[in-house]
Structure 1
C-alpha cells in the first residue's frame, strides 16, 4: 500500500512506513543491473507510478517483500553496494539536510543515530566509545535473517559513502586522516558472515575496508574524526532540520502500534542511567498504567526491555573497551556490582570477566545462537535482582 500526500495523515501507523523513494531507487538499481524490476511489484497494491511522489510511503512489510525479491534477482551482483551509491544525501530529506549542515561529523552522526528509524524503521543505531574509537552498531527489529546481511551492508555502505562526500576534505587531511591506499585511515566497517564474492568487485571503489566474519555489525571511527567539520556546515540550518526530524519522530512514536518496539528503540538512543517507567510513559504521552498494559499485550514489561538494552550495552563495553567490570556496572546504572554480576551470568552463562577473556558470545546468550544474535529482537530476559528505578 502507498500512502501519498495528505492522505497519509489519516493513518495512525507510527514507524511502520518507509519513504517510497527508497523503493523507487531499489527498483531502478535492479533495472540497471539488467533485471525486470516490474516483478518486484507482483501481488502488491502499488506500482512504479505510485512511487513517483516524493512524499509517498509504503508499509515496511511491503518493502521487505520487494527487498527479498530484489535480493533474489541481483543480490549476488553486489546490489547492496550499487544501491548505496544511488542513495545520495538529498534522497534522505530533512535527515540528510541535518547531517549535511551539521557543524561537525559528531553532529551528523548523532542526527543519523537518532532519526534513522524515520528512514529505515527496521533498523536502529547506537554507539559506544572504546578507547580512541567510536563503535557504531546497527540492529534490526524484524525477524528477517535472510535480509539482515543485505540491509546492514547497504546501510553501512551508504553511511560510509556519505561520510566521505560530506566531510571537509582539507580538515580531514590536516587531522591525519588522509587516504591510505585509497582508504580513509582509521575507519572500517565490520560485518558478520563470510565475505561475499562480489565484495572484491567493489572494494577499490569504497573509501574504507569492509571486514567480514566479525562478531558484530559495526562502523568504526576514530574519536578525532568526530571534530572534523562538515563540508556545508551551517549550525542554524542543521538545528532547524533536526527540529523538524524531532517533530516527525515524536509524532511517529506516539502513533506507534507496537509500543514495545518503540520503547526499546527509544531506550537504545538514550545514555545511562535509563529513565523510569513513569518518565518513559510521559515521553509517549500515556499514563504509566497504559504503558504497562500495552507492553503486557506484547507479552513483555518495561523491566524486561530495560534489562535487554542493558545486556546489549554491557556486552559492547566488555568487548570493546578497557573499562573495569565495576566501571561498566556503574555506567549502566547498577548501584551494586553483585546485582550486575548475577544478571550478566544469567544473560550469558558466564561472569563478566569470563566473557571478556572468552571472546565470542556463548550459545546460551539469552536465546540467541552465535549466528543470529545480531538480529536484535527482544528475548524475554528475566530479571534476577532489583534494578533501581524501573518497574
Structure 2
C-alpha cells in the first residue's frame, strides 16, 4: 500500500545518509555494537541499496551516535563531509540540467528518493530586505522529536553544499532559517559549520539565495545525460513504495474523514482488519486508536490556527469539541500552550520571516 503520509514506523528511509554516518563513525574508531545497540540493525544493512528502515529505528541510531561521540553538534559536523554525489541519481540529474532553476525543479520531483522525511519546496522568489530572493523550503513530513537538530541541520547543510556544486561557486546561499530552537553552544561552532547567517526559531526551514542565479547556466549541463537520469529517477520513483504500518494506514483513512469521532470498528472495516486484530496491531506499536485520533486532531488544530483566520471558537466546534473550553484544555495538553498563544506565536514568526 502506497501513501503520501509518513509515520515514524514506516519502512521508508533508504540507507544513503544513515550509511554515510555509520561509516564515518566507524572510521573514527567508534564501536559498531554501541552504535547499533537497541536498533535491531546490522552492519550489512547500511551497505544494502535496497534496504529501507523506519525513522523510529533511525532515531535510536542517531541518539546512540550522539551519546557515543558526546557531540550535540554531530549532525552539523558530519553533514559537512557528505559529498552531494552521495545523494545519487537525483543529484546527478539536477547537476546535468541546463540552468539552476531546471535543476531545482528536478530535485523537487525526485529528492524524496534519498530524503523521504522532507518535502522539498522551491519558490522562484520571496521578499527580503535586499530585494528578491529565491528560496528553498524543507518541511519535515513527520515529527523529528529529539533528533530534530541533527536531522534538520544535516538536511540544510547538504542542500547548501549541493547548490554550491551545481553552480560551482564557493558561496550561493545568503541566509538560512531553521524551524528549531537554537542549540546550546551554537555560537561556539557557528563559524565552523557555516559562513552564512542562520536564524533559529523560524516558522519553516528555509535557505535563500539571489534570484538571478536561477538562470545561471550550470557548468555540468548535459542534455543527453539529464534526460537519461530523469528517466532513471522516474523508474525509481514508480517503484519507491514502502511498507506502511497500521498507524499510517489509519492516518490515511482519517485524512479523508471530516468526522474524527469514528469508532475503531469503522476504521478496521475500511482497512480490512477485524476490530480485535487492528487493536492488537496498534498495541504492538505502543499506541491506541484514541491516541492516533488525538494526534490527527492536534494536527488539524495547529493547521487551522496557523493558516486560517477562523475564530478559535469556530475551530473548536469544527473539530468536534462540545465547548471551546474543552478544546483549549486539550490543545494545552497537546502543546503546552493555549490556542490563542499558539496562533499569536505563529503570526509573529510569519511576520518576522517576511521582514
Please indicate the TM-score interval, normalised by the length of the shorter structure: 0.5 to 0.7
Aligned length: 282
1:117 lines up with 2:105 in the alignment: no
Residues 266-302 of structure 1 show CA distances to partners (whole Å, capped at 9, x for unaligned) of: xxxxxxxxxxx9xxxxxxxxxxxx9x956xx9978xx
Contact 2:144 2:151 in 1 (8 A): no
CA distance in 1, matches of 2:250, 2:112: 15
Alpha carbons of structure 1 residues 310 and 264: separation in structure 2 relative to 1, 3 Å: farther
Q: RMSD over aligned Cα, in angstroms? A: 4.4
CA distance in 2, matches of 1:260, 1:344: 27
CA distance in 2, matches of 1:87, 1:66: 18
SS, match of residue 252 in structure 1: coil
Q: How much does 1:157 deviate?
A: 0.6
Q: How much does 1:167 deviate?
A: 0.9
Alpha carbons of structure 1 residues 259 and 365: separation in structure 2 relative to 1, 3 Å: farther
Q: How much does 1:145 deviate?
A: 1.8
CA distance in 2, matches of 1:188, 1:31: 31
1:91 to 82, 86, 91: 86
When the two structures are superposed, what TM-score results if normalisation uses the length of structure 2? 0.62
1:364 lines up with 2:352 in the alignment: no
Unmatched segments (≥5 aa) in structure 2: 1-8, 257-266, 272-277, 279-288, 317-336, 350-355
Q: How much does 1:32 deviate?
A: 5.1
CA distance in 1, matches of 2:230, 2:250: 25
Q: How much does 1:146 deviate?
A: 0.5
Alpha carbons of structure 1 residues 140 and 32: separation in structure 2 relative to 1, 3 Å: same
Residues 62-84 of structure 1 show CA distances to partners (whole Å, capped at 9, x for unaligned) of: 22221222233336353112221
Structure 2 equivalent of residue 145 of structure 1: 145
Structure 1 equivalent of residue 161 of structure 2: 161
Alpha carbons of structure 1 residues 221 and 29: separation in structure 2 relative to 1, 3 Å: same
CA distance in 2, matches of 1:75, 1:262: 39
CA distance in 2, matches of 1:90, 1:49: 22
Contact 1:95 1:112 in 2 (8 A): yes
Q: How much does 1:309 deviate?
A: 11
Residues 125-144 of structure 1 show CA distances to partners (whole Å, capped at 9, x for unaligned) of: 22444232233222223333
Structure 2 equivalent of residue 101 of structure 1: 96
CA distance in 1, matches of 2:84, 2:112: 16
Q: How much does 1:193 deviate?
A: 0.8
Structure 1 equivalent of residue 76 of structure 2: 81
Contact 1:138 1:217 in 2 (8 A): yes
CA distance in 2, matches of 1:255, 1:83: 29
Structure 1 equivalent of residue 191 of structure 2: 203
CA distance in 1, matches of 2:103, 2:206: 17
CA distance in 2, matches of 1:344, 1:99: 44
Deviates more, 1:245-254 or 1:109-118: 245-254
CA distance in 2, matches of 1:168, 1:18: 29
Residues 188-210 of structure 1 show CA distances to partners (whole Å, capped at 9, x for unaligned) of: 34443125415543525535332
Contact 2:177 2:202 in 1 (8 A): no
SS, match of residue 134 in structure 2: strand
CA distance in 1, matches of 2:45, 2:56: 17
Q: How much does 1:155 deviate?
A: 0.4
1:241 lines up with 2:233 in the alignment: no
Q: How much does 1:156 deviate?
A: 0.3
CA distance in 1, matches of 2:210, 2:311: 32
1:216 lines up with 2:204 in the alignment: yes
Q: How much does 1:112 deviate?
A: 2.6
CA distance in 2, matches of 1:210, 1:196: 14
Contact 1:160 1:208 in 2 (8 A): no
Structure 2 equivalent of residue 192 of structure 1: 180
Structure 1 equivalent of residue 135 of structure 2: 135
